[in-house]
Chains A and B, each alone.
Chain A
Amino acid sequence: MACRGDEPGKPFSAILSWVSPGSLPTHRTRTHNICMVSDFFYPNMGGVESHIYQLSQCLIERGHKVIIVTHAYGNRKGIRYLTNGLKVYYLPLKVMYNQSTATTLFHSLPLLRYIFVRERVTIIHSHSSFSAMAHDALFHAKTMGLQTVFTDHSLFGFADVSSVLTNKLLTVSLCDTNHIICVSYTSKENTVLRAALNPEIVSVIPNAVDPTDFTPDPFRRHDSIITIVVVSRLVYRKGTDLLSGIIPELCQKYPELNFVIGGEGPKRVILEEVRERYQLHDRVRLLGALEHKDVRDVLVQGHIFLNTSLTEAFCMAILEAASCGLQVVSTKVGGIPEVLPENLIILCEPSVKSLCEGLEKAIFQLKSGTLPPPENIHNVVKTFYTWRNVAERTEKVYDRVSVEAVLPMERRLNRLISHCGPITGYIFALLAVLNFLFLVFLKWMTPDSVIDVAIDATGPRGAWTYRCSHRKRRSGKYEISKTR
């Protein structure tokens, strides 16, 4: 809501007195009104969520106007403001499965159109292919003639039924999207193949970590024992089954070895079973779900970080671990080999045997003292990936997209029919026409002129821009400002 708990009248009176044009950053020639759409955003936790948040913050810093649209999380619905005036719409849409909303392709149009119009959005940036809302927003944005960008955060297979279906939907959704961003080259290859895209409209912009949040602290770990840290959701995709094979084997071989496992998920049961069967209660600690701010405290307790993912587009976890100065042992899947240089990571095949060998190699290096000190690893890693760099590169994509023409209706229909196969193509062309008619109806019901233009919190005419420029950005960037 518009009022903050501490001084409710203030923000609005600040908004009402329009900020003078002198306060806008002068080095920018063009700024964009960007709307990030995804089903996944805070208070849900994960890579996509923090990616959207950090990217938005850096884009705000560069003078763009950014808003985020997501679905309501429990009691958190309506409009909230986060740090630096980042406005978040929590729309009351039904959640169907795994925090993804149900889609009928039409029911979200009235609200999304209202938001796009009142915020004067020019670029829609959707995130994650699992998010139904992101695809809906792309579909509506194209109907409304807005520029569209899509970021894919995950890898898919080609073989099983669910993948075949999602790939088909992705083909439909992306065939007329202006630009697509992938987080690694592997992911780009995967997306181009899945959605049958022209590779020229696909860019690679990796994720980043905030190096100030992940600093090493060698005094927190005990050097008499060796601690292996695992931080991931305990699900099949993250290879928890492999982990349950590794634990007993290594614990038998090395009596001084300990495991610390952070994360929650349906596969937690099998880890508990392993712990029970081999009597490893004092050596395998299961921490349960971790908050993002606690991850660093867990990471610095260990010497070696183990990642057992079976599929991964980029893998933030190993980057965070390396930033904390841990030796990383990981499976060689997806985009992981691209993330870190060879001397900082030990890559293994995704099998228990290979991972055990990799871990043994890391343990040997640790015992012989050939590993570089954590501080050195941190200093190397912190130069690799920063959010400012990500924002700069994303901005280039926006600049490029904003001068492109949006496909007019008849060419969009042609593209759908020629690109997505005869049956799907015609079905979705029909849906696109229906969506267009629905939009015409909505425009007749509430014309654009009746919709109030929202007061910008961020961007060139943002009411908060002035306030932030003289208030230094605080270090606690993850902290979500208390809103009521």
Chain B
Amino acid sequence: MEEERSFSDICGGRLALQRRYYSPSCREFCLSCPRLSLRSLTAVTCTVWLAAYGLFTLCENSMILSAAIFITLLGLLGYLHFVKIDQETLLIIDSLGIQMTSSYASGKESTTFIEMGKVKDVVINEAIYMQKVIYYLCILLKDPVEPHGISQVVPVFQSSKPRLDCLIEVYRSCQEILAHQKTTSTSP
């Protein structure tokens, strides 16, 4: 089963949430941001080149122009490879654990897996972020020493930063699975 809904992020940008229900114990949530638009790319390139040309007319050194070309190219490569995340996926399987994948615009993927034994809970939290106060979803990890303590808080959907309505959607599904897992693990 798959469905797609559109939400917005904390800055008002558009986000698409795809939910795939493979089975009652396994769900996947996929948040995709819009791809890099041609307009913003052109705008940034134009400003860098215009600035370089302005400097060139001042000091008449053609090195500046070639440097500007390299900077734009390298900057674009670096941005696509290390910064711009197109898609963030949260896969939750009740007997195994939670896997978070972020795919960069260049195609690079980075994956984190947390096994179920370590997961204490999934909650929505509030934080002050830049000049905003935002809600975010996070996974609480159990403290191996102290059974009731929390050793770490792992934020989910760090780059797309969806708004509360989207988070509640994901939160409810996660809680359903966690509850399912608890009932199955207590009754063998």
Contact = CB atoms under 8 A, between A and B. Distances in A.
Contacts of B150: 3, 5, 8, 484
Given A8-B150, A79-B128, A452 B135 contact: yes
A280 interface: no
Interface string A98-140: 0000000000001100110010000000000000000000000
Interface string A349-369: 000000000000000000000
- Residue of B122, B133, B164 with most partner-chain A CB within 10 A: B133
B12 A446 contact: yes
Nearest to B120: A8
Contacts, number: 72
Nearest to B12: A450
- Secondary structure call for the B interface: strand
B148 A12 contact: no
Given A8-B120, A115-B133, A78 B127 contact: yes
Contacts of B121: 3, 8-9
Contact of A2 (B8, B12, B124): B124
B125 interface: yes
B175 interface: yes
A64 B133 CA distance: 22
A8 to B, nearest CB: 5
Contact of A79 (B122, B127, B175): B127
Contact of B132 (A5, A13, A446, A447): A446
Given A2-B124, A447-B12, A111 B133 contact: yes
A250 interface: no
A117 to B, nearest CB: 10
A89 interface: yes
Given A9-B121, A452-B164, A484-B150, A2 B126 contact: yes
Nearest to A442: B131
Contacts of A79: 126-128, 133
B127 to A, nearest CB: 6
A114 B132 contact: yes
Given A2-B124, A450-B11, A16 B131 contact: no
Interface string B68-112: 000000000000000000000000000000000000000000000
B26 interface: no
Nearest to A92: B128
B134 interface: yes
A6 interface: yes
Nearest to B135: A452
B171 interface: yes
A454 B128 CA distance: 13
A175 interface: no
A484 B121 CA distance: 15
B155 to A, nearest CB: 12
Nearest to B8: A450
B48 interface: no
B11 A446 contact: yes
Given A12-B124, A16-B168, A450-B10, A5 B149 contact: yes
Pick the 8 closest A-B CB pairs, nearest first.
A110-B131, A9-B121, A450-B12, A452-B164, A2-B125, A79-B126, A8-B121, A12-B123
Given A12-B171, A450-B11, A454-B133, 16 more contacts: A1-B127, A2-B123, A8-B121, A9-B121, A12-B123, A12-B124, A16-B168, A78-B126, A79-B126, A79-B127, A79-B133, A111-B128, A114-B131, A450-B10, A450-B163, A484-B150
Interface of A: 1-3, 5-6, 8-9, 12-13, 16, 77-79, 89, 91-92, 110-111, 114-115, 118, 446-447, 450, 452, 454, 484
